[in-house]
Amino acid sequence: MYTFLICLFALILSYFVYGKFLERIIGVDETAKTPAYELEDGVDYVPMNKYRALLVHFLNIAGLGPIFGAIQGALFGPSAFLWIVLGTIFAGGVHDFFEGAMSVRNDGLSMPGIISKYLGDRVRKFFAVLIIITCILVASVFASGSADLLSSLTNIDIHIWLVAIFIYFLIATLFPVDKIIGKIYPIFGALFFIMAVLLISALILNPNYSLPEFTTAGLYLTDKAIFPFLFVTIACGAISGFHASQAPIVARCVKNEKDMHMVFYGAMVIEGILALIWATIAMSFFHGQPQLASIYGSSPSIAVKEMSIALIGTVGLVLAIIGVVICPITSGDTSLRSARITIADELGLNQDKLKTRLKISIPLFLVSFGLTFIDFSLVWRYFAWSQLIVAIAVLLAATVYLIDNKKHFIVTFAPAIFCTVVAIAYILQASEGLRLDPFISNVISVIVALALSVYFILKYRKQPNTTT
């Protein structure tokens, strides 16, 4: 239990220490007029108070990510704790704070526009497509996981549930942000977190379970090497480029720049805590037994149901439905909403009219629905890797932003380089990649990342004010 408590304390402390440090670096102008007021349109640009914005953003970025990723990452044992904590503080929190701040200061611009502004227009179309693909994959994965659990609970065919979920996706995506998302999502966001707190409390109080410590690392066996597979498996609980697609949704609703720390860094800390809790529950419940290994590479929704019922009975079942059905569905629709916004931004389309929103949304929904027929684990792995590439681009864009404004840029540049090493190593040795020898792929990834970092520094340090 000491390991869990230390990690929990570190995450909470980071919000008040490192999060504030980042805020001082970027500076806050409380008199600046935010996009919520400057471009208010009653659809996507709508002022929202910071607490509501925090819960909406938390729910948008969380969904199944910190649950499924953490459960699958639990197979690596307590080493997962280190990545969740350090990743949240120095990578994910940094990524989320700067992506949100840059969007707020650029009229709520979506991430392809932000990346283009700071890294050059040549990469814009690539990342626009990648972010749209990521959003489509998220909706597909979250809908599949939710439908899987609903089918097991009701004996109704999974495809019927999928159709129902995607009908809701379409409705919520088209409605103004304050009509559905702004009203009920804060409630679901709060319930999502309360669910995890109740489960971990029941686990701690139950004498039949013992919380994992770093000294029990040897109990967990997997044929996957910790580096780089752990760092890709646990994405949303440490760093996820998917969050970059969600930031503009709330950036268009933030009332004041002083709210950016709470909304963006704070939401990532909460998600890190959620991932820590679910990784702990999975390790304690299965404790390195073959059942835990069987989760890897398959939908963990049934495991969530089993753990919830075992820990808090009928209440646990209700909470599992909220956590693995309702909340992921709400994240799925915002991912498709983000894809719609991204496409509209790239094509310069006004979103005031419902007809225009429908033209963009329907093709997105058809593609996402089609992907639900593909193996869950395969979709998840491609999602995890693609979002890491997006995260690297966002961190590099933030680095250029800091260089241009003569600020300390190492806070964004260091995690960008680390994530680059992970991304290259993964695609070189993963089964869905080139399947190279781990040692060779790791060496290549380090060399390539170092070369890219030298090129990047030489290019942008010699060209101050690149964005002008």
Total domains present in the chain: 1
Give the side-chain half-sphere CA count within 13 A for 87.
30
Residue 434 lies in a domain: no
Q: What pLDDT is stored for residue 289 in this prediction?
A: 46
pLDDT value at residue 54: 94
* Within-domain flag for 308: yes
CATH of the domain at 19: 1.20.1740.10
Residues of the chain with pLDDT under 70: 216-223, 287-302, 320, 324, 375-383, 462-468
3-class state of residue 430 by DSSP: coil
Q: Which domain holds residue 109?
A: 2-396
Considering the domain boundaries, does residue 409 fall inside one?
A: no
d(C-alpha 43, C-alpha 45), whole Å? 6
Taking CA 12 as the corner, what is the angle to CA 66 and CA 284, rounded to the nearest 5 degrees? 50
- Assess if residue 64 is contained within a domain: yes
Using DSSP's 3-state secondary structure scheme, residue 280 falls into helix
- pLDDT at site 277: 93
Give residue 112's pLDDT: 86
Assigned domain for 429 exists: no
Torsional class of 222: left (φ above 0), alpha (ψ -120 to 50), beta (otherwise): beta
Residue 236 CA: distances (Å) to CA of 93, 296, 349, 410, 453: 11, 17, 30, 22, 25
- What is the pTM (predicted TM-score) of this model? 0.87
Contact 249, 337 (CB under 8 A): yes
Write down the pLDDT at residue 151: 85
In a domain, 178, yes or no: yes
- In 139-281, DSSP assigns E strands to none
* DSSP structure class, residue 220: -
**Does residue 452 lie in a domain region?**
no
* CA atoms within 13 A of residue 425's CA, in its CB half-sphere: 24
CB 161 within 8 A of CB 324: no
Q: Which amino acid is at 405?
A: N
| Close Cβ partners of 410 (under 8 Å, ≥ 6 residues apart) | none
Residue indicated by tokens 């040897």: 218
Q: What is the pLDDT of residue 379?
A: 63
User: Given this model, what pLDDT does residue 209 score?
Assistant: 84
In degrees and rounded to multiples of 5, residue 254 shows phi and psi of -65, 130
Look at residue 235 and tell me if it is in a domain: yes
